[in-house]
Structure 1
Amino acid sequence: MTTTPFNPPSIAELQARFRPVFARIAEGAAAREHTRTLAYEPIAWLREAGFTRLRVPPHFGGLGASVEQLFALLVELAEADSNVAQILRPHLGFVDRLLIDRDAATQARWLPLAGQGAIFGNATTETGGGTVGELQTTLVPDPERPSGWLLDGRKFYSTGTLYADWVTVVARTVVPGRADETVHALVETTAPGVERLDDWHGFGQRLTASGTTVLRQVRVVEDALIRFPRQQPTPLVAYFQLVHLATLAGIARALQRDAVAYVRARKRVFSHGSATLPKDDPLVQQIVGELASTAYLAGLVVRDVAAELGRIARVRVAGEDVSKAELDALELRTAQAQVAVAEPVQRAAARLFDVGGSSALAEDLRLDRHWRNARTLASHNPVVYKARSVGDILLNDAEPVYYWNVGVAAP
């Protein structure tokens, strides 16, 4: 039997497919932000167009796009609406986690669902007084079903889960006589005992549904537990960080776009200005040039890291191992990229308002959303820690930190 060789789509073909959807999403972005209308429609448009299947291999129903193509498109989506790009971060990361870890049985279980359009959300982080590294969310054996489990816990920062069909819950198994084990439990978001709350209260990324997921006696079957390798070097940390950076790069492009549109349409000038039209004022031109330069730099950095991630992905798909030195270098590069991008984009988002007067503050424009969203993205993994890590690696040959936790330090 012969098989037809797969010809991967070109970036031009993918852009032609998705740019009309991105444009449609961009049209309503400011209004959704202003009225806090959750992005159910944009997510449905992207699912229908196949965006959620981008990285799924064709034999599982996906488009088979490369890592580089994914991140190029993600920047464009973030330019249209950074909330929507952030919503899909857990889903995109879950798909690539399956590809990175290369477990054939797990891929065969879950990638076909993604290929059919299923979206996966996230329930990882816990708030409150829990000890650093100790999960409060537990899985215990189900007394009524052999090989079954009961899941209980409460998560926050559950990005995208309101829009998802399945949620990946990080939990620890508790079995008498056995050591606890950290696993990923996949449950349907409509399963009995799963409650999703729209209680995200951050001032940015307001539409990402990054609030609470409550799990009460949720039944989980054994083959819905995934045991990913832990405490080993992985490209996945860089991948998840790059999603943030691609979203910041998209915000930078949106700043350039909105500044140009605002200035071109503006007729009013200040008496102490330098031209009869704002677009001819050298100071305004300088600001727009600075915004465009930040967008260029951010996009360049994302492409650089994506190229190395893509190379590593292809090596692993070919069945070859990637050395620790290569993964360490990738993690260092990604940390440097975060430091290089996060603060300049935030400065550009604040600088945007210098191109005009008080009319730039109009609620219907919602230009403030760019700064709020950039600031929120930069707060997820604080830049100061990444900058310190870079310095420690370069000065002391320190090991990159691939896994970290949040909680209360033990006394």
Structure 2
Amino acid sequence: MAEDDLAARTAPTNAHPAPPGQPLPPAPDVATLRVRAAALLPDIAREAADRELRRELPYALARQVANAGLLTFRIPRAYGGPGGSVREAFAFVIDLAAADANLAQALRPNFALVEGLLAGQDNEAERRRWFDRLLAGQILGNGGMERGGKHGDVKTTIVPRDGHFVVHGTKYYSTGALYADWVTSIAVDEAGEETHFAVPRDRAGMALVDDFDTIGQRLTASGSTHFDQTRVEADELRPSPFSRGRRNAVTPVLQLFLAATEAGIARNALTDATWYARHKARPIKHSSAARSVDDPYVQETIGQIAAQAFAAEAAVLRAAEAIDAAWADGLGDAALTRASVEVAQAQYFAVAAALRSAELVFDVGGASTCDRQYNLDRHWRNARTVANHNPRQWKAAAVGAWLLKDEPPPTTGLF
């Protein structure tokens, strides 16, 4: 039976399991989005632990997030969006990650898309095309990195043919692709130059495979995307959202998204630890307390987790304000560098806070905290998996180089 399940899960598919549904009208302001989020987030959180145990991808919930307009925080009012700040967008991302860290990370490409469009020049048609799609509840996924070779190398090819283009190659870490209506990716042309493109998920010659097999973040749908002579129309080519050799506003958002996911995991760990101590835990035999909630060590443990979660969220939101400040400064290099440094610091701390919080969960109860039914280990597994996207040692080292030698962080895409 397990082999049958694996075969069914990893069979290539392009059919979207969740129908488009009816999107809500575009939100006129962030306050409206907050009301919508408050109504939806409890539903997302309710069975998140069980979904992971069953390995059940929340297709319908991703649709509900998109249809509520919760991917549109940063779309300006001139384009029909709420015109939110980076800080406001990340406050929601933390809330979403606290409900379901998998779903939050799976929707990450949409936030990067908006930021890239805002930062782009002479891209009015591109902005309207994609802003309209997001406002209509459509979702973008990512056909991301490739396995083998030097990290970041692109082997997938794109060549012109009879008025269109043809793409061939395989991607992995296709974050959110299985939830998406559109899949964006990168290939190299005949001159070896990187070319960005986005195609609808039902495009012939593209196969989405749920073969993501990691210890954590199992439901981000970050498996393989196969392009087999896939047709790409000329108007499906996309300008690069940023230059790899120049500091930009998109990369800090992508990196801070990982930190926000960690902050959400820490808060989720606090929620579970508090629930377990209140409803399941028994004081150890030699405790002076009749109830676990009266045990001073349980209280102290809950306080430690709360402090970690609180500080991680504060660090993320402060770094988000630094990105807002860079926008207010016209995306000047000095302001973007400060934002990159602050994001690196937030990332380093958020990773540590999430891992520590996830470990402390098990100190509020006895051996029963390890029962699979509670799935409490998912917090550590998820935090560890997110942390491994970009090694935190490099974050700390980059901050140290900035403080010691005024050396700015690299512009290679991880800062």
Q: Which residue of 1 aligns with 2:8?
A: none
3-state SS of 2:267 partner: helix
Among 366, 378, 385, which residue is 1:369 paired with?
A: 378
Q: Which residue of 2 aligns with 1:332?
A: 341
| 8 A contact 1:8–1:65 mirrored in 2 | no
| 8 A contact 1:288–1:355 mirrored in 2 | yes
- Report the Cα offset of residue 105 of structure 1: 2.9
- Does residue 154 in structure 1 map to residue 170 in structure 2? yes
- Report the Cα offset of residue 10 of structure 1: 4.4
Q: Which residues in structure 2 correspond to 1:179-198 (within 5 Å)? A: 179-198=191-210
- Name the CA distance, whole Å, in 2 between partners of 1:46 and 1:91: 12
Q: Which residue of 2 aligns with 1:352?
A: 361
Among 187, 200, 209, which residue is 2:212 paired with?
A: 200
CA distance 1:171–1:296, change in 2 (3 Å): same
- Name the CA distance, whole Å, in 1 between partners of 2:139 and 2:33: 20
The code of the aligned residue for 1:378 comes to: A
- Name the CA distance, whole Å, in 2 between partners of 1:69 and 1:397: 30
Which whole-Å deviations, capped at 9, do the CAs of 1:175-210 have from their partners, x for residues lacking one? Answer: xxxx43212111111101110000001110011111
- Name the CA distance, whole Å, in 2 between partners of 1:227 and 1:180: 16
Q: Which residues in structure 2 correspond to 1:10-409 (within 5 Å)? A: 10-11=30-31, 13-102=32-121, 103-128=123-148, 130-142=149-161, 144-145=162-163, 148-174=164-190, 179-228=191-240, 229-230=242-243, 231-266=245-280, 268-314=282-328, 321-404=330-413
Identical residues among aligned pairs (%)? 39
Q: How many pairs are equivalent?
A: 386
The code of the aligned residue for 1:343 comes to: A
Which whole-Å deviations, capped at 9, do the CAs of 1:208-235 have from their partners, x for residues lacking one? Answer: 1111000011111222212224111102
The code of the aligned residue for 1:331 comes to: S
CA distance 1:71–1:133, change in 2 (3 Å): closer
Which whole-Å deviations, capped at 9, do the CAs of 1:79-101 have from their partners, x for residues lacking one? Answer: 11111101100122112211122
- Name the CA distance, whole Å, in 2 between partners of 1:296 and 1:15: 20
| 8 A contact 1:157–1:211 mirrored in 2 | yes
Deviates most, 274-283 or 106-115:
106-115
- Name the CA distance, whole Å, in 1 between partners of 2:170 and 2:403: 39
Q: Which residue of 1 aligns with 2:21?
A: none
Q: Which residue of 2 aligns with 1:318?
A: none
| 8 A contact 2:301–2:363 mirrored in 1 | yes
The code of the aligned residue for 1:386 comes to: K
- Name the CA distance, whole Å, in 1 between partners of 2:138 and 2:79: 12
- Name the CA distance, whole Å, in 2 between partners of 1:94 and 1:7: 19
3-state SS of 1:52 partner: coil
- Name the CA distance, whole Å, in 1 between partners of 2:333 and 2:74: 24
In structure 1, runs of 5+ residues without a counterpart are 1-5, 316-320, 406-411
3-state SS of 2:183 partner: strand
- Name the CA distance, whole Å, in 2 between partners of 1:88 and 1:262: 29
The code of the aligned residue for 1:97 comes to: G
CA distance 1:267–1:342, change in 2 (3 Å): closer
Which whole-Å deviations, capped at 9, do the CAs of 1:86-129 have from their partners, x for residues lacking one? Answer: 1100122112211122422321332222221111111121101x
In structure 2, runs of 5+ residues without a counterpart are 1-25
- Name the CA distance, whole Å, in 1 between partners of 2:53 and 2:408: 44
Q: CA RMSD in A?
A: 1.9
| 8 A contact 2:27–2:81 mirrored in 1 | no
- Name the CA distance, whole Å, in 1 between partners of 2:408 and 2:42: 43
Which whole-Å deviations, capped at 9, do the CAs of 1:304-348 have from their partners, x for residues lacking one? Answer: 011122233355xxxxx3221111111111111111221121011
The code of the aligned residue for 1:216 comes to: D
| 8 A contact 1:266–1:277 mirrored in 2 | no
| 8 A contact 2:93–2:104 mirrored in 1 | yes
- Name the CA distance, whole Å, in 2 between partners of 1:326 and 1:225: 31
3-state SS of 2:388 partner: helix
The code of the aligned residue for 1:196 comes to: L
The code of the aligned residue for 2:257 comes to: V
Task: Spell out structure 1 runs of 4+ moving beyond 6 A.
Answer: none
| 8 A contact 1:53–1:61 mirrored in 2 | no
| 8 A contact 2:140–2:180 mirrored in 1 | yes
The code of the aligned residue for 1:23 comes to: P
Q: Which residue of 2 aligns with 1:3?
A: none
Q: Which residue of 2 aligns with 1:408?
A: none
- Name the CA distance, whole Å, in 1 between partners of 2:334 and 2:262: 28
CA distance 1:390–1:20, change in 2 (3 Å): same
- Name the CA distance, whole Å, in 1 between partners of 2:276 and 2:132: 45
